């Protein structure tokens, strides 16, 4: 079997808004500057306690170091494979769009979502992934369209009230 290629063209693109890309870059810079320094300081302090074989502080600092380095690597890969989502005024739901949905049969149940790439998804901020059931169902749809969404609680029908 031939070795797997690490060519970036075979990597999955990471869809991000410009703000989402900047957030990743800021986190990466913080980890490279402050995160690594904090870990190095913890390691230095733990080593000063002596006997490393039974030194919980040393073990925890090494684990934190591994976490920081893994996160740095992950962020570098995401940034390298980032594809910026351009906002468009096409009137159809796409990544970067805000969509207001209302459940059919309910006057009160309205939801406003921003469609983002999976890296930026944040349910608390009402940012849903284009790969989520709702995101997939409304992509490419227009204001006034109705969509059926399969969710763990069953199938629901929503009407798209507004796209911006």
Please write the tens of the pLDDT for every residue from 68-122: 999 999 999 999 998 887 665 567 888 888 999 998 888 778 889 999 888 888 9
Which CA distances in Å does 119 have to 1, 14, 27, 33, 38?
32, 7, 13, 23, 26
How big is the chain, counted in residues? Answer: 164
Prediction pTM value: 0.65
For residues 156 and 150, give the distance between their C-alpha atoms in angstroms, rounded to a whole number.
6
Place of tokens 């769009």: 97
Query: What pairs with residue 83 in β-bridges?
Result: 15
Query: Residue 2: pLDDT band by 50, 70, 90 thresholds?
Result: very low
Per DSSP, the three-state class of 100 is: strand
Q: How confident is the model at residue 53 (pLDDT cuts 50, 70, 90)?
A: confident
Tell me what pLDDT residue 55 has: 82
Question: How are beta strands 110-116 and 127-129 bridged, if at all?
Answer: parallel
Instruction: Map out the domains of the chain as residue ranges.
Output: 11-84, 98-163
The CATH code belonging to domain 98-163 is 3.10.50.30
The pLDDT score that the predictor gives to residue 34 is: 96
How would you label 150-161 residue by residue, b for 16+ Cβ within 10 Å and e otherwise?
eeeeeebebbbe
Report how far residue 72's alpha carbon sits from residue 61's, in angstroms, rounded to the nearest whole number: 16
11-84 — its CATH code? 1.10.287.180
Return d(Cα 84, Cα 11) in angstroms, integer.
Answer: 16
């Amino acid at each position: 079997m031939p070795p797997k290629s690490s060519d970036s063209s075979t990597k999955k693109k990471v869809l991000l808004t410009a703000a989402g890309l900047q957030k990743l870059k800021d986190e990466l810079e913080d980890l490279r500057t402050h995160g690594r320094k904090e870990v190095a300081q913890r390691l230095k302090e733990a080593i000063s306690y002596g006997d490393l074989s039974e030194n919980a502080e040393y073990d925890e600092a090494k684990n934190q170091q591994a976490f920081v380095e893994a996160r740095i690597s992950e962020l570098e890969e995401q940034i390298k494979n980032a594809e910026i989502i351009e906002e468009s005024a096409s009137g159809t739901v796409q990544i970067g769009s805000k969509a207001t949905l209302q459940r059919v049969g309910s006057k009160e149940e309205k939801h406003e979502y921003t469609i983002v790439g999976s890296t930026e998804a944040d349910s608390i901020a009402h940012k849903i992934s284009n790969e989520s059931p709702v995101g997939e169902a409304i992509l490419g749809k227009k204001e006034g369209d109705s969509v059926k969404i399969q969710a763990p609680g069953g199938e629901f029908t929503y009407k798209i009230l507004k796209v911006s």
